[in-house]
């Protein structure tokens, strides 16, 4: 691999400190915002008296630096997680160790698309949950010194509030927004509805990429549990569920293109996060076949082919793929693919992230390596790179 790059990891996660919301909430809301309570001896995230999920480590990297392979990490607590899962200084140390310059950061407790907050009944409380998270992420970004870039949660249950929060997030210095793929599950219009046009216009004007992480709605997350056959063991279910969930973003990509959303809003960039890239050429070709061969006239409202829309304004992240990366990039083009490690989640490349990535990158020219590992993400998220270049100091 080219060795003078500042690698930008386009998908990592934060294990939220238990006081992230309570330490920032107005006094009247401190017992209602997300907090960790004891439920039958298990630390549990609770909002307004509603139990959301176990307050787990959300990490397969143990405090001692070892990597868990299998399902034992599910029983870990916050204190079992590596400090780099939630502490800024420790995170930067991990990044230096593995040779990564910057991290794009996504949530855990709120759901990967903030979908868990949509189940709450009080609109003011729901909005507060999102704004406090974004305030905390702005603080994290500042502490990260130009190397940590969390994506803002939107109050997707309210279009007007989403527009206002996107504007506020940009003013806070955040570089993109994180969106659920299915707001209709919370009573809002689906994303193809023109009611969302004000949000897309604001994101275009402010240069905010719209990110769709896998598992960003109950529909997509349900694949994780429903894909494995019941007779499989826990480790087998984890493997099958994780692999199948990558493909849930195929429906997001298809809907973005065929709905005409990209046709109407050519300046907005969308990102498919933690989904891989190998399936994308097939899906784009399948869409072209379906629309051109089996549904005559269905393309009449579109001026570009699915592949052309992808190249114009869709990005995708990959990490584990090795055998066919060069061919996939040849089909898709080199300008819309990002690299990730998914630290510190079960499918992450830790501890030898760049060693694991090397086989997939080996067949790429140094110019394409630079785009995938550094330049594409830097341009998309507006991440400035030190003029000196070079890898982190301890790699």
333 pLDDT higher than 80: yes
Domains and CATH numbers, the chain: 8-381 (3.20.20.140)
CA-closest candidate to residue 275, choices 293, 306, 253: 253
CA distance readout (Å), 2 to 6, 36, 86, 197, 219: 10, 45, 30, 41, 40
Quickly list DSSP for 294-336.
ISTTTTTT-SS-HHHHHHHHEEEEESS--SSHHHHHHHH-TTS
pLDDT tens digits, one per residue of 190-213: 999 999 999 999 999 999 999 999
* Residues counted in the chain: 395
What is the Cα–Cα distance from 48 to 315, expressed in whole angstroms?
Answer: 37
What is the Cα–Cα distance from 45 to 93, expressed in whole angstroms?
Answer: 28
Enumerate the β-bridge partners of residue 104. Answer: 149
Q: Model-level pTM?
A: 0.95
CA 169 from chain center: how many Å? Answer: 17
CA-closest candidate to residue 268, choices 133, 142, 187, 177: 177
pLDDT band at 301 (very low <50, low <70, confident <90, very high): confident
Which pLDDT does position 390 carry in this prediction? 46
- Tell me what percent of the residues of the chain surpass a pLDDT of 70: 96
What is the Cα–Cα distance from 109 to 56, expressed in whole angstroms?
Answer: 9
Which pLDDT does position 32 carry in this prediction? 97
Q: Are the CB atoms for 291 and 311 separated by under 8 Å? A: no
Quickly list DSSP for 176-244.
-EE--S-GGGGTSPPTTSGGGHHHHHHHHHHT-PEEEETT-SHHHHHHHHHSS-TTS-HHHHHHHHHHH
392 pLDDT higher than 50: no
What is the Cα–Cα distance from 4 to 340, expressed in whole angstroms?
Answer: 18
Enter the tokens of residue 382. 């507006």
What is the Cα–Cα distance from 112 to 274, expressed in whole angstroms?
Answer: 11
């Amino acid at each position: 691999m080219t060795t003078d790059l500042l690698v930008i990891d386009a998908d990592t996660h934060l294990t939220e400190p238990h006081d992230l919301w309570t330490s920032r909430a107005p006094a009247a809301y401190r017992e209602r915002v997300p907090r960790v309570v004891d439920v039958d001896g298990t630390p549990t995230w609770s909002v307004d008296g509603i139990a959301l999920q176990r307050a787990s480590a959300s990490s397969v990297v143990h405090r001692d630096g070892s990597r868990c392979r299998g399902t034992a990490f599910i029983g870990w607590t916050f204190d079992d997680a590596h400090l780099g899962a939630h502490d800024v200084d420790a995170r930067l140390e991990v990044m230096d160790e593995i040779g990564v310059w910057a991290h794009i950061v996504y949530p855990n407790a709120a759901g990967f698309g903030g979908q868990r907050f949509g189940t709450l009944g009080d609109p003011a409380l729901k909005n507060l949950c999102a704004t406090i998270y974004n305030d905390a992420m702005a603080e994290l970004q500042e502490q990260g010194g130009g190397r940590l870039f969390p994506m803002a949660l939107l109050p997707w249950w309210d279009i007007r509030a989403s527009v206002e929060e996107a504007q506020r997030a940009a003013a806070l210095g955040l570089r993109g927004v994180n969106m659920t793929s299915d707001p209709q599950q919370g009573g809002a219009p689906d994303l193809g509805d023109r009611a969302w046009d004000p949000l897309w216009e604001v994101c275009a004007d402010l240069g905010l990429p719209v990110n769709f992480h896998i598992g960003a709605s109950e529909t997509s997350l349900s694949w994780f549990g429903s894909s494995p056959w019941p007779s499989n063991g826990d480790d087998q279910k984890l493997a099958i569920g994780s692999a199948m969930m990558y493909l849930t973003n195929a429906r997001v990509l298809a809907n973005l293109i065929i709905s005409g959303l990209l046709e109407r809003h050519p300046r907005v960039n969308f990102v498919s996060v933690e989904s891989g890239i190998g399936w994308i050429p097939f899906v784009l070709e399948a869409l072209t076949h379906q629309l051109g061969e089996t549904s005559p006239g269905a393309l009449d409202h579109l001026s570009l082919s699915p592949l052309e829309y992808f190249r114009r304004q869709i990005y995708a992240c990959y990490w584990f793929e090795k055998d066919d990366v060069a061919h996939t990039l040849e089909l898709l083009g080199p300008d819309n693919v990002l690299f990730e490690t998914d630290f510190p989640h079960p499918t992450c490349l830790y501890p030898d992230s760049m060693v694991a990535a090397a086989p997939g990158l080996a067949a790429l020219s140094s110019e394409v390596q630079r785009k995938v590992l550094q330049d594409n993400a830097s341009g998309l998220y507006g991440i400035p790179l030190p003029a000196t270049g070079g890898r982190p100091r301890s790699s």
